[in-house]
Amino acid sequence: MAPNSDLRIAVLPGDGIGLEIMDACRAILDALEGRVGGYTLCYTPYRAGAALFSETGTDITDEDFDALGHADAILLGAIGDPTVRHPNGTEISPHLRIRTAFKLCTGLRPAKAYPNAPRRLRDERAADIDLVVVRESTEGLFHTAQIGEIIDDLEATEIMKITRPVCEQLFDETFALARRRKAQGGKGKVTCVDKANVFKAMAFFRKVFDERAARNPDIEVGYNYVDAQALDLIRRPWEFDVLVMENMFGDILSDLTAALVGGMGMAPCGEIGRDHAMFQPAHGSAPDIAGQDKANPTAMILSAAMMLEWLGERHDIDALKTAAKVLEAAVSEGFASGRVNPKEFGGPHGTKETARAVIDIIGETT
Ligand code: ATP
């Protein structure tokens, strides 16, 4: 085995359902590693989030934060609790600082229709939905999220920041993703979603997009204003492949695309930087269902599959790429066969039973 096949994974279960979906995911990852073989993942757990903040007044220790920078990847459950807040009223969100500190600007949010998962559109072509929202995750309108101000109780301001280096990194990752998907039968198309007709920052976003598109002539490009894109994601989502957009637009449209393929429990996420990456479901800690074995762990499991694929590409380890495919296929088979039918969609399966079914399918298919 190559020495670099021993990879370090920093595990942050977080708060609420983060704890139980991470337990489910870890059990699956261990079973998968045992079946596929050829790689070793070493997991180190860290505490971060609202529960830790309640106990200690800090949402992650400085020491643990630094340790994340030495991991090969970060796997996060979910963070936050609406009842625990900073004095200024904002929620506990160390994951936003992790994104910024480790420059995780490329947020990949796939939305894929799995068999038997609820489809919110009646059109039979909804079965073909298979797209990725690429959300810039470190600047845009979130740039001033921690520092925007309210002036004399009369006005409030936030600034949308778009920078060339971040855009270049974002678009290069986006075109590379479209190329990887094309190699596996994807459409090979990137749509730039913006509001370039109104905002100078968005016109700049599109200008840099065009520059990078020119370097990727094998990938088809398209453009859509964000309002028209919202319309088209309801009218004809099956026609899209990879859609790249500013932070706030991606925040909103990725929830919409999650709904198209079932709900938040189906929405995985990978946040990719040049030297680091974090993988987590796109949903929050869902305190309303925490601790009741009701959470759908699919988004967490698919985020872990994204992590395996990213690690496999980055370290050129075929066994990891294989493991990613096996895991994704097991989820798909689980839905197709009805062995995965989550409570989130009115089915009988809780978090643990869903994990058990996925582990069983991995055992049967490897
Ligand atoms: P955040 O702002 O942290 O993303 P949020 O306020 O958008 O959080 P979530 O925590 O994502 O809220 O949850 C919204 C609702 O969706 C929850 O109340 C919960 O019922 C449901 N939900 C979210 N994730 C799941 C899941 N994995 N399984 C089942 N239901 C879920």
Rounded to the nearest whole angstrom, what is the distance from the C-alpha of residue 131 to the centroid of ligand 1? 21
Give the tens place of pLDDT for each residue, 98-114.
999 999 999 999 999 99
Of all protein residues, the one whose alpha carbon is nearest to atom 21 of ligand 1 is: 286
169 and 242 assigned to the same domain = yes
33 and 100 assigned to the same domain = yes
Give the tens place of pLDDT for each residue, 55-81.
999 999 999 999 999 999 999 999 999
Domain stops at, among 206, 225, 260: 260
Instruction: Decide if 114 is inside a domain.
Output: no
Q: How far is CA 95 from CA 15, 30, 48, 59, 280, in A?
A: 12, 25, 9, 10, 10
Residue 90: per-residue pLDDT: 82
Instruction: Decide if 112 is inside a domain.
Output: no
**Max alpha carbon distance in the chain (Å)?**
64
What is the layout of strands, in order, in the sheet containing 242-245? 40-45, 6-14, 73-78, 277-279, 270-272, 106-112, 130-136, 242-245, 189-194, 220-225
13 and 54 assigned to the same domain = yes
Residue 242: per-residue pLDDT: 98
296 lines ligand 1 (CB under 6 A): yes
Of all protein residues, the one whose alpha carbon is nearest to atom 6 of ligand 1 is: 284
295 lines ligand 1 (CB under 6 A): yes
- How many whole angstroms separate alpha carbon 323 and alpha carbon 310? 11
Residue 147: per-residue pLDDT: 72
Instruction: Decide if 101 is inside a domain.
Output: yes
Contact predicate 242/131, CB 8 Å: yes
Instruction: Name the residue among 228, 268, 136, 115 with its Cα closest to residue 240.
Output: 228
289 lines ligand 1 (CB under 6 A): yes
Residue 5: per-residue pLDDT: 56
Query: If residue 156 lies in a helix (H) or strand (E), which one and from where to where?
Result: strand 155-157
And the tokens for 9?
A: 């994974």
222 and 281 assigned to the same domain = no
Atom of ligand 1 nearest to the CA of 281: 27
303 lines ligand 1 (CB under 6 A): no
139 lines ligand 1 (CB under 6 A): no
Query: Which stretches of the chain drop beneath a pLDDT of 50?
Result: 1-3
Domain stops at, among 213, 237, 260: 260
273 and 322 assigned to the same domain = yes
170 and 281 assigned to the same domain = no
Residue 9: per-residue pLDDT: 98
Residue 146: per-residue pLDDT: 67
251 and 278 assigned to the same domain = no
300 lines ligand 1 (CB under 6 A): no
Instruction: Decide if 115 is inside a domain.
Output: no
350 lines ligand 1 (CB under 6 A): no
**Count of structural domains, the chain:** 2
150 and 247 assigned to the same domain = yes
Burial class (CB in 10 A: 0-12, 13-18, 19+), 365: exposed
Instruction: Decide if 113 is inside a domain.
Output: no
Rounded to the nearest whole angstrom, what is the distance from the C-alpha of residue 85 to the centroid of ligand 1? 18
Instruction: Decide if 132 is inside a domain.
Output: yes
Residue 156: per-residue pLDDT: 86
Q: What is the CATH number of the domain that holds 303?
A: 3.40.718.10
CB atoms < 10 A from the CB of 42, how many? Answer: 10
Rounded to the nearest whole angstrom, what is the distance from the C-alpha of residue 315 to the centroid of ligand 1? 33
Residue 143: per-residue pLDDT: 86
The domain of 167 spans: 120-260
Angle CA 136–168–213, to nearest 5: 105
176 and 250 assigned to the same domain = yes
Instruction: Decide if 210 is inside a domain.
Output: yes
Rounded to the nearest whole angstrom, what is the distance from the C-alpha of residue 257 to the centroid of ligand 1? 15
134 and 254 assigned to the same domain = yes
288 lines ligand 1 (CB under 6 A): yes
Residue 151: per-residue pLDDT: 82
58 and 41 assigned to the same domain = yes
Which of 59, 142, 283 to mutate for ligand 1's pocket (most ligand atoms within 8 Å of CB)? Answer: 283
Instruction: Decide if 102 is inside a domain.
Output: yes
Which residue is associated with the tokens 């009741």? Answer: 292
Q: State the virtual CA torsion across 149, 153, 155, 157 in degrees, nearest 10.
A: 10
Of all protein residues, the one whose alpha carbon is nearest to atom 2 of ligand 1 is: 284
336 and 309 assigned to the same domain = yes
284 lines ligand 1 (CB under 6 A): yes
Domain stops at, among 260, 282, 316: 260
